[in-house]
Structure 1
Amino acid sequence: MLDFRLHVFHVVAHLLNFTKAAERLSISQPAVTKNIKELESQLGIRLFDRKAGKVVLTEAGQTVLQTADRIQLLYNQLEFDLNVLKNQFGGQLKLGASTTAGQYVLPEILARFHRAFPGVQLTMQNANTETIEQAILQQEIMLGVVEGKKHHPLLSYTAFIQDEIVAITHKDSKYGKLGQISLEELVKIPIVCREKGSGSLEVLEAALGEHDLELSGLQVEMMLGSTEAIKSFLENYDCIGFVSITAVSGPVSRGDFKIIEIPEMEILRSFYFVHAAGVPAGLSASFMHFAKHSYNQRL
């Protein structure tokens, strides 16, 4: 385990709040202050300052935090490797995943993890990105996988995999003969997309914004709560939909749907692991390590 004073510093440095750090560490606020003062005395330099009533890291504090992050990651790796050797994984891991990740990325990884570590009880909540982030903030789940941008200063985001949002249409649609369209043509074509609060919609809006376009300037026929709903809608309505390429690789390869290129606009995004501020430990860290390794093996 990390030196406890360094561990206390690590939590405070990410939260920048002594009261919240005390709650996270399950110790009193005076104990947090005592450990920080002892660490500063040991190192001979101040690690925190207060400015306008807020806690901020000094230059020395930022340097110590960089090293503390690396030490925590090394410890997590060591813990994972030793547990694999001892086959001593156990406990409960409450996960959350945004809709696309929960339906198309994680199920295979969850199956592999369960086979490897049957002593771990896994549960997963599936909702849009905003809901998953709130569930972590409310301590309802321990770890999430979300898409879109980083939103909350009290959460930490670790890159997981890359994804792309593409425009598709059904093979029988009148737009099925199109190979590509321009942005000028896009605004004249009816579209269907994900709902407000979803990471997919957020990255679509950001991509449009880079070309001085807004979603309100497009002919949005409907906003739906899942990729499966969008695919079903496209089977019964002449329009195009914006979805994750991860979610439609199978139907596209079978010829049921067709990707329509928009050369002027590439919509790339990342899936992130999201967790309470700081470097994760225990089962959360172990699952992150396993998931990255497992996904890379598929490639």
Structure 2
Amino acid sequence: MSSKGPISNFIAKYYKHFNAAALVDAARGYEAQLEQGSKMLVSLAGAMSTAELGKIFAEIIRQDKVHIISCTGANLEEDIMNLVAHSHYKRVPNYRDLTPQDEWDLLESGLNRVTDTCIPEEEAFRRLQKHIFRLWKEAEAAGERYFPHEFMYKMLLSGVLEEYYEIDIRDSWMYAAAEKNLPLVCPGWEDSTMGNIFASYVIKGELSARTMKSGIEYMTYLADWYTENSGNGIGFFQIGGGIAGDFPICVVPMLYQDLERTDTPFWSYFCQISDSTTSFGSYSGAVPNEKITWGKLGIDTPKFIIESDATIVAPLIFAYLLNL
């Protein structure tokens, strides 16, 4: 194993108990999966792109420490928005003190707030809209259909956004993924800003819904990928909860139970960074053992749950994997 840097050594020395210990155990478990030749799925929920996770996650992609991503439509687009409009974002550190009038004033200023960070509508959403719409129209005219992330990859690799870049391109995880044509699933894309925009064009009769491949097609794509890549196991590293995690983890029981492919292996590793409470009946808050009853994890699958803030935990685990 490569020698570790100061961040990795710090957490190994001082993170000894409770969630801190779980963080170290999960990082070592992830590393062990890679060393034995297993592949890894990372799921991104919440607003991890707006939290600028790309600063470190892009390097995880470049170093082949993730092999497929499941993310929300928001994370798919917000990494690119940060790439092209970073200087126009506004941080609101006193967001807990905002009144309804303060919130309305932000809306009137074209700023959409995500906790302490406001995304600029004109510079972010609209700057992308004209370019992605052109790709949608070109595909439809040619009778072609693509997944949401494939359109995003095409836009990034075409170079049409280069004039807008406001951060180092190496800090964009979507650009790193596009360069590798990394497998990706984006369930529920329709509820994202770009998904809403696409739907508006469908309603206006300017686009056909068929031009965009669907969630069912994402599931069948994932089923094929899992079947082809599970020889040495596939681990599951979940950041947050929601559909980004729920959607891909279900591919195993679907293959095993519904398709009756009884040789389908369970996920070979599972870790979730979550702040959801287990007693509320939420799937996001369920302890990993519950997933055994659904045919997702095996009895011996290494299981970790870190009940903490993903914006703190995920960069530390990625730093450990990068030997920083």
- Shorter-chain-normalised TM-score: which range? under 0.3
Normalised by the size of structure 1, how large is the TM-score? 0.27
**Bigger RCO of structures 1 and 2 (CA < 8 A, at least 6 apart):** 2
Give the structure with the higher percent strand: 1
Normalised by the size of structure 2, how large is the TM-score? 0.25
Give the structure with the higher percent helix: 2
